[in-house]
């Protein structure tokens, strides 16, 4: 079995055929990063694949046929093919046509330019291990994304903690409490309290001046 590897770019495209339009998964295999094959001293590689999870179609490029296709369409290289395909996937500019002879034609567009690729059906004995590797690779990729999302979720504060933080910012201490040490507060006089000695009640209520004893 091939080592599972998820494709770098993929998209779902409808097939141009009569009746209900089934969707096909289209993906490419090529250099993992621009210049990777050149850095290793190898020949740049690129292939397009289309599958409905049962059957598989491929461009089946050899270095010679890829060079010929590149000369006809004048892209910079295999890396440029990969960039074209990625942009076309993002912009939904990929179209697929299935032919009566079991072959297929795939067209990708970029601005006003288009590239057309002829794909042939891959024999079942070769398609089965490729589809198996694709499925396992996509499963690993999905699991990796789940782990990344879980890690991001753990880094975020919980809703309860965020609510507590917000409450601490909204409900501030009593202004009188914060102002307590800045100066004496005005004291309220209570009925019956001595005016001469605040805090002590008068022993008897004031009766005023008795003019009869004068």
Query: Is the residue at 72 inside a domain?
Result: yes
Domain harbouring 77, CATH code:
2.170.210.20
Helices and strands in the chain, H and E counts: 6, 7
Contact (Cβ atoms closer than 8 angstroms) between residue 51 and residue 57: yes
Whole-angstrom distance, CA of residue 188 vs CA of residue 34 = 83
Query: Is the residue at 192 inside a domain?
Result: no
Query: Is the residue at 196 inside a domain?
Result: no
Query: Is the residue at 150 inside a domain?
Result: no
pLDDT surpassing 70 at residue 115: yes
Whole-angstrom distance, CA of residue 48 vs CA of residue 39 = 22
Confidence of residue 111 (pLDDT cuts 50, 70, 90): confident
* CB atoms closer than 10 angstroms to residue 44: 21
Burial class of residue 199 in the structure, from the number of CB atoms within 10 Å of its CB (0-12 exposed, 13-18 middle, 19+ buried): exposed
Look at residue 151 and give its three-state secondary structure.
helix
Query: Is the residue at 195 inside a domain?
Result: no
More confident residue, 107 or 191: 107
Helix ranges (H only) for the chain are 36-39, 63-73, 78-90, 124-155, 159-170, 175-178
Query: Is the residue at 165 inside a domain?
Result: no
pLDDT surpassing 90 at residue 198: no
Query: Is the residue at 145 inside a domain?
Result: no
pTM, 2 dp: 0.62
Number of domains present in the structure of the chain: 1
Phi, psi of 19 (to 5 degrees): 85, -170
Contacts of residue 150, Cβ cutoff 8 Å, sequence gap at least 6 = none
Give the residue numbers spanning the domain of 107: 10-122
pLDDT surpassing 50 at residue 211: yes
Contacts of residue 77, Cβ cutoff 8 Å, sequence gap at least 6 = 44, 70
Query: Is the residue at 43 inside a domain?
Result: yes
Confidence of residue 40 (pLDDT cuts 50, 70, 90): very low
Q: pLDDT per residue over 10-34, tens digit each?
A: 888 887 654 556 689 999 886 544 4
More confident residue, 189 or 138: 138
Whole-angstrom distance, CA of residue 71 vs CA of residue 91 = 26
Please list the residues that pair with 12 across neighbouring strands. 25
Reduced DSSP (H G I as helix, E B as strand, rest coil) percent helix, strand, coil of the chain, to 5: 40, 20, 40
């Amino acid at each position: 079995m091939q080592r599972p590897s998820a494709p770098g770019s993929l998209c779902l495209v409808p097939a141009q055929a009569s009746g209900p339009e089934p969707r096909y998964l289209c993906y490419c295999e090529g250099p993992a990063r621009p210049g990777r094959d050149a850095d290793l001293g190898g020949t740049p590689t690129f292939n397009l694949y289309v599958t409905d999870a049962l059957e598989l179609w491929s461009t089946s490029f050899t270095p010679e046929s890829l060079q010929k296709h590149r000369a006809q369409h004048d892209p910079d290289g295999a890396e440029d093919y990969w960039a074209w395909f990625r942009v076309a996937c993002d912009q939904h500019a990929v179209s697929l046509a299935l032919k009566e002879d079991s072959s297929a034609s795939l067209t990708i567009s970029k601005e006003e330019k288009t590239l057309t690729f002829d794909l042939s059906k891959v024999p079942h004995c070769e398609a089965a291990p490729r589809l198996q590797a694709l499925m396992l690779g996509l499963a690993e990729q999905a699991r990796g994304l789940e782990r990344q999302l879980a890690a991001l979720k753990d880094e975020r504060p919980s809703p309860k903690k965020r609510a507590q933080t917000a409450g601490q910012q909204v409900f501030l201490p009593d202004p009188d409490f914060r102002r307590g040490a800045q100066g004496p507060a005005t004291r309220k006089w209570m009925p019956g309290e001595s005016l001469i000695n605040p805090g002590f009640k008068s022993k008897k209520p004031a009766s005023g001046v008795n003019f009869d004893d004068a």
